[in-house]
């Protein structure tokens, strides 16, 4: 039986950058669809606070900070609360720009799912599946939810969410530089273009040589090749990425954003990279890989959000 009083829960889901990928959409069960690929789970992501009151008319409200549309997270909230009814409100805060290859759509969807599941009694596995399906059908992405269930460097060897999907995670504490160069690149526009996807399929051959537990250096080498071969990056991003590489910072496009991620192997490389970004007036931030993946935040934090 649902509780008679209002309940509140907070969840965090990390962001994510994809360095290389290959869609896999043929499975009959959509929970087994998605992509294979590799990337890094980021310590910055999305927080969601859910407040549910079992009494009163059925109503679902989802808001985002900064303000903006929330179609995928709203779909997650509606599907999870439907069996129990009541009034549900969700507030989402994104740490990184939405629509720029930082996995903010998947992070918002999964954080929403975990928070709503916590207040309504829905199992975590169901929340993960609903977040994945909302991403898949809502045009947000193909493998982000599966990738951020845990932290570190991730390699997706089978598409979909568990138990269909298989993702290997390797811990890392390396520093990354992530930044935005231009306007968003809509995922559906790329995924629906046969010529672009043909290049993606050819470039994804680099996954075979990556192994199951790559270092950050190996991931960046493979991601650099993928970026150069698929040719999805706009000209300003291409120029910046090449400049960072000359500075000694391995760099690649964060798929599919007008954005990049780069490794900072030492202090001198970091200094040169930061100076280049300042001259180019490019906004960027230093971030480390997340260690734990998507999770509930201690309940005492909920009061600050309510």
- DSSP code per residue over 40-108: EEEEEEEEEEEEEESSSS-EEEEEEES----HHHHHHHHHHHTTT-SEEEEEEEESS-TTSSS-HHHHH
| Residue at 119 is within a domain | yes
In terms of Cα–Cα distance, which of 119, 132, 99 is closest to 13? 132
| Residue at 306 is within a domain | no
Q: What is the pLDDT along the chain (306 residues), one digit of tens a residue?
A: 444 678 999 999 999 999 999 999 999 999 999 999 999 999 999 999 999 999 888 999 999 988 889 999 999 999 999 999 999 999 999 999 999 999 999 999 999 999 999 999 999 999 999 999 999 999 888 989 999 999 999 999 999 999 999 999 999 999 999 999 999 988 777 888 889 899 999 999 888 889 888 999 999 999 999 999 999 999 999 999 999 999 999 999 999 899 999 999 999 999 999 999 999 999 999 999 999 999 999 866 554 544
**Alpha helices per DSSP H over 100-234:** 104-120, 124-138, 144-147, 187-191, 194-203, 216-230
Beta strands 87-94; 166-170: pairing state: unpaired
| Residue at 252 is within a domain | yes
Helix axes 104-120, 124-138, angle to 10 degrees: 140
Residue 55 is inside which H or E element, if any?
none
Determine the Cα–Cα distance for residues 296 and 301; give it in Å rounded to an integer. Answer: 10
The tally of domains found in the chain comes to: 1
| Residue at 273 is within a domain | yes
Confidence (pLDDT) at 4: 63
Question: For residue 74, what are the domain limits?
Answer: 1-301
Q: Tokens standing for 231?
A: 């040719």
**Alpha helices per DSSP H over the chain:** 71-81, 104-120, 124-138, 144-147, 187-191, 194-203, 216-230, 235-246, 267-280, 302-305
Residues 6+ apart with CB under 8 A from 30: 133, 136, 137
Q: What is the CATH number of the domain that holds 148?
A: 3.30.230.120
Confidence (pLDDT) at 33: 97
Confidence (pLDDT) at 306: 47
Q: Tokens standing for 289?
A: 């890989």
| Residue at 184 is within a domain | yes
Confidence (pLDDT) at 78: 98
Residue with tokens 């930061």: 274
Confidence (pLDDT) at 100: 95
């Amino acid at each position: 039986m649902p509780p008679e009083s209002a309940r509140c829960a907070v969840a965090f889901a990390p962001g994510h950058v994809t360095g290389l990928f290959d869609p896999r959409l043929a499975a009959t069960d959509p929970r087994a669809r998605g992509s294979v690929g590799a990337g890094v789970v980021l310590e910055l992501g999305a927080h969601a606070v859910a407040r549910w009151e079992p009494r009163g008319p059925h109503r679902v409200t989802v808001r985002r900070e900064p303000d903006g549309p929330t179609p995928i997270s709203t779909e997650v909230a509606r599907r999870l609360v439907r069996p129990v009814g009541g009034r549900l409100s969700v507030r989402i805060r994104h740490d990184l720009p939405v629509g720029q290859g930082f996995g903010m759509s998947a992070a918002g969807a999964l954080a929403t799912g975990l928070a709503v599941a916590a207040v309504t009694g829905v199992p975590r596995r169901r929340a993960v599946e609903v977040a994945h399906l909302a991403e898949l059908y809502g045009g947000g992405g193909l493998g982000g939810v599966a990738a951020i269930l845990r932290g570190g460097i991730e390699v997706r060897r089978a598409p979909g969410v568990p138990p269909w999907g298989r993702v290997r995670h390797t811990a890392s504490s390396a520093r990354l530089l992530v930044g935005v160069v231009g306007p968003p690149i809509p995922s559906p526009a790329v995924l629906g273009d046969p010529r672009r996807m043909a290049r993606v399929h050819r470039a994804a051959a680099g996954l075979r040589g990556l192994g199951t537990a790559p270092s950050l250096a190996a991931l960046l080498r493979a991601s650099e090749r993928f970026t150069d071969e698929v040719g999805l990056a706009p000209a300003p991003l291409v120029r910046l990425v090449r400049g960072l590489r000359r500075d000694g910072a391995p760099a690649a496009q964060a798929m599919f954003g007008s954005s990049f991620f780069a490794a900072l192997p030492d202090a001198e490389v970091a200094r040169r990279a930061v100076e280049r970004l300042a001259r180019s007036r490019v906004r960027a931030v230093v971030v480390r890989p997340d260690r734990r993946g998507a999770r509930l935040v201690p309940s005492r934090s909920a009061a600050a959000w309510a």
